[in-house]
Structure formats: C-alpha cells, structure tokens
A and B are shown apart, each in its own frame.
Chain A
C-alpha cells in the first residue's frame, strides 16, 4: 500500500526565513511525487513535481529515495506563501493519487 506522511499540521515561519515542509512516503515501486497548494478561496493546484526538477515560486523539492522523503523548501518565505500544502504520491500503472494530511503554512509578517 502507498502512504504519504506530513508530520506537521501547522507551521509558522517569519517572513524572510527559510521554509521546509516535510513529506515522507511509503511505496515499494518507483514513485511519482507532487506538491499541491491550496491558497485561501482558491482551488487546489499543482505546485511542482519531482520529475520536472523545476523551481516554482522559489520552492524546490528533491526526491530522496534512501530516506523516502520529498521535502518542500524555500530559502526566503514570503507572505503570499501562506496556504495549505499537500504532498501527493502517484505512480505509472496505479491510478490512485494518494495525498498526505496537509500542512498549513502561515508566514508571519
């Protein structure tokens, strides 16, 4: 069975400080990892995926297969980063996209 764990339900960070949202996964095959974000009063949307290796809105995430982690990082937090962040796990051939419980990030001005 595939599982995604986000250990922090709430995270508060001062503006300008570094941000790290943790995500660990459990899956025996080759995973596809995603970060989705939900800003206030907006629909859930893709932030980034590991296969693209992009930096979106200053965020990056590296897949560490040894530690089975896909932590989301940003060096300098901005107020507009306040949102709900979900880590998600999918894989080719399995049609179920599994989400973690989410982390609500609050940036303190």
Chain B
C-alpha cells in the first residue's frame, strides 16, 4: 500500500517557467489537500478537493491551479513560477474530511531561481 505519492521529490525552476506537481493516492479517499511549508510559517493550505470534479481555494491559492478528474489524482499546477513559490509542497488525503486523519506524501522541494 503506497499511500500518498508525490512526484518529483526535488525541482529547480527558473522564474516564469511552469510545472505540475503530481499527487496520487491509492486509499480511495475523497478528500485531498495541497499545503506549502515555509520555514517558521507552518503549513498553509493552497487548494483542497472533496471529491472528483470538486476543488476549492485554501489560504494561499494565488499562483496555483488544481484539477481533480479522478479520485486518485490531484495535480498542482504552477503557471508562472516566482521566487515566492520556493517552498516544500505536501499533498495529503483523508477519508472523511478535516475531522479525520490526514495521510501525507513525502513532499516536493521546489526552488525558483
């Protein structure tokens, strides 16, 4: 059982480039989340989804887009990378929402130069 899998683990982007962070879970969870982790700032919610075809903004959605075409996948898209998006990104899933245990991926460390 792989749980939540994120790819890539590391990436360096140039300013203005775009990329997609992949997230897949094999637990048939409806709820999925994207967080960014900045030093001293904790985890900030970027976007979340309560099921296939349904997404909503979190605290810091600007500069990002998501889609949820299947239950398993929840990719995060950066269209025009900026240095402020340098961070560690975590994807998570849960069975029944924010009052149940969240399972996290191993993270993607992104640097924008």
Contacts and interface: CB of A to CB of B under 8 A. Distances in A.
Interface stretch (A55-63, A64-72, A74-82, A92-100): A92-100
B22 to A, nearest CB: 16
Given A43-B107, A44-B104, A45-B104, A99 B43 contact: yes
A101 B98 contact: no
Counting chain A CB atoms within 10 Å of each CB, which of B31, B43, B107 scores highest? B43
B99 A92 contact: yes
Contacts of B107: 43
A96 B58 contact: yes
Interface residues of A, number: 24
A61 to B, nearest CB: 15
B41 interface: yes
A32 to B, nearest CB: 4
B40 A96 contact: no
Interface in B9-37: 31, 33, 35
B106 interface: yes
A24 B97 CA distance: 22
Interface of B: 31, 33, 35, 40-45, 48, 50, 56, 58, 90, 92, 94, 97-102, 104-107
